[in-house]
Amino acid sequence: MERTLAKETISKVGQKILLKGWVATIRDHGKITFLDLRDRSGKVQCVGQGLSKITTESVVEIEGIVAKRPEKLVNKNLETGTVEVQIEKLDVLSVAQDLPIDMGKEDLDVSLPTLLDFRPLTLRNKKVNSIFKVQEVVIDSFREALKKKDFFEFQAPVFIPEIAEGGAEVFKVPYFSHEVYLSQSPQLYKQILVGAYERVFSVNKTLRAEPSVTTRHLTEVTTLDAEFGFIDNWTQVKDMAEYTIKYMLKAVEDKCGDILESFGVTIPKFTDSIPTIKLREAQEIIYRRTKRDNRNEPDLQPEDEREICKWSLEEKGSDLVFVSHYPTKKRPFYTYQEPEDPEFTQSMDLLGRGTEWMTGGRRINDYEFLIKMAKERKVDPEKLDLYLQAFKFGMPPEGGFSFGSERVTMHILGLANIREASLFPRDMERVDIRLSTIRKESRVLKDERKDIFEIIVDSLDSKDIPFEKYEHEPVYTSEQAAKIRGTDIHQGAKALVLQADKDFILYVLPADLQANLEGLQNKLKVKKLRMASKDSVKAKTGLEVGAVPPLGSFVGLKTYVDPRLSENKEIVFNAGRHDRSIKMRYSDFVRLEKPKIIQL
């Protein structure tokens, strides 16, 4: 019997069919069992009697008759909700073991690390799964838009001989008896191919060794790059980018309307002509609106990007805004300078809903000037000989742009973290699995070690101590920490590593208070008490200043506590890292750590 997909059942009432798929949910009512079978097309309810015990997510084959549901039992939230399959035969093809998370909910109620730790399972959730259907349309429509403009598609190499981009670290890797780099952009190859095909684009994996754990950065991303020749000015590059993003957003709206509705979002608003302002104009607007003075900075800070997008929506009715003319020193060596003001470039970024989506601009096409700029930026022309040949033998005025597919997807759907928009995200902490969970043999101690954050979490779990974990952008001040956690600054348990004569101790006090080192010195009866240096903190605890938890016993230090910390029912603190925090009851903290309370 030929297989029938779940969504096809509504047209086969009264027929015997064969279904194959996963058991999404099971509702056992004694003799009668209801289950939802899921396949690539959707779900359909199946009902049977005397079925053998099966587990959720097991893979099954079902033979049965498609029956119309009674009117009062129709499920209007399910595409196949007017029918059900009466099971005559059920065979289990693969048994699923007990699931680590509840897969029965529309929205998975799990933390981001858990979502990614169990990626093969969580991708089966309809809402998580649909993120990448949107991303597929984003990438496909990028291709379609440029194909309509007579662009040629190519694939760029991964190994590159020299660093060409600015603003990002790169991975240096051994290459037989040499060292090369993993590509951080297909930029040089785009430009080379303009000399052969005139208009080119590429969908590429690019790799950047940026030590960042923010909500908007990844080590590996899929970029959507385009480059084309015979331009008269940089605005033609902007216009092509504008055409492309509008095409992409319209495609998502047309093809993914049901997904947008399930996320409670719409595509970003945009006007007939997306607003364009120069960087210095944007910074002046930000200053007038916020009194935050970044008017001489070479780039927009994250909060600046959010503010200028807010301005664009309020004043221009557009979620999207181009910001142009970034300083020459900020942009790569091949970026075309503004003739009237060479300190700035004919470059631009497209910002959307508070963050950068695209970067691009006009490029230098003069061979001699390109070599000059490369040397000024300490880029070795000899290693770029292949690239430079394209200009040596004639290159038209040209430019291009690059979108980040994950960022576009993230901000279309309103996701909180870019990792949600990557099937298998890579960052400095994760390559499929959390790298901190890999057991490594220490060369010095010859033992097996975990990240301090993981050790604290494991300890709290093992002692049945309730706590909350926070994952957030890195914070370096008590004010930043309180704001990003949404907690009172007085709740912050500030942990100071102090040097008491030749010993080191940990002193914990509310984050909004200053330490009285003189009074503490007298109380401890030591000759000299001072703040430990950054290097001493790192050497003694293995952690950075500001990331040390108030649990001295976990880092080999004796803990002293200011009694004013007890004014809080709950305390919160950085737990070994600037981007991880824990909140727990003060009473549980005392019970766990057994610190010495110092009344000054």
Dihedral sign of CA atoms 89, 94, 98, 104 in order: negative
Mean pLDDT of 75-80: 94
As its CATH architecture, domain 126-421 has: 2-Layer Sandwich (3.30)
pLDDT band at 442 (very low <50, low <70, confident <90, very high): very low
Taking 80 as the threshold, does the pLDDT of residue 132 lie above it?
yes
Taking 70 as the threshold, does the pLDDT of residue 449 lie above it?
no
- Is 452-597 a domain of CATH 3.90.960.10? yes
Question: What are the boundaries of each domain within the chain?
Answer: 6-94, 126-421, 452-597
What pLDDT digit, counting tens, does each position of 273-300 carry? 999 999 999 999 999 999 999 999 999 9
Taking 90 as the threshold, does the pLDDT of residue 437 lie above it?
no
Dihedral sign of CA atoms 555, 556, 562, 563 in order: positive
Note the pLDDT of residue 444: 31
pTM above 0.85, yes or no: no
Question: Could you tell me the two tokens for 198?
Answer: 């005139």
Residue with tokens 């001989």: 161
What pLDDT digit, counting tens, does each position of 543-571 carry? 889 999 999 999 889 999 999 999 999 99
Q: How far apart (Å, rounded) are the C-alpha atoms in residues 395 and 267? A: 38
Question: Could you tell me the two tokens for 346?
Answer: 């004919």
Q: How far apart (Å, rounded) are the C-alpha atoms in residues 363 and 459? A: 55
21-25, 27-31, 47-51: range with lowest mean pLDDT: 27-31
Which range in 81-90, 165-174, 458-467 is most confidently predicted, on average pLDDT?
A: 81-90
Query: What's the fold here for domain 6-94?
Result: OB fold (Dihydrolipoamide Acetyltransferase, E2P) (2.40.50)
Count of CB atoms situated within 10 Å of the CB of 558: 14
CA distance from start to end of the chain: 83
Burial 40-74 (b: 16+ CB within 10 A, else e): eebbbbbbbeebeebebbbebbbebebeeeeeeee
What pLDDT digit, counting tens, does each position of 180-222 carry? 999 999 999 999 999 999 999 999 999 998 776 788 899 999 9
The identity of residue 239, as a single letter, is D
Say whether 142 sits in a helix, a strand or coil. helix
Closest-CA residue to 583 (of 457, 454, 455, 452): 457
Give the C-alpha distances (Å, rounded to integers) separating 248 from 134, 143, 234.
Answer: 10, 9, 22
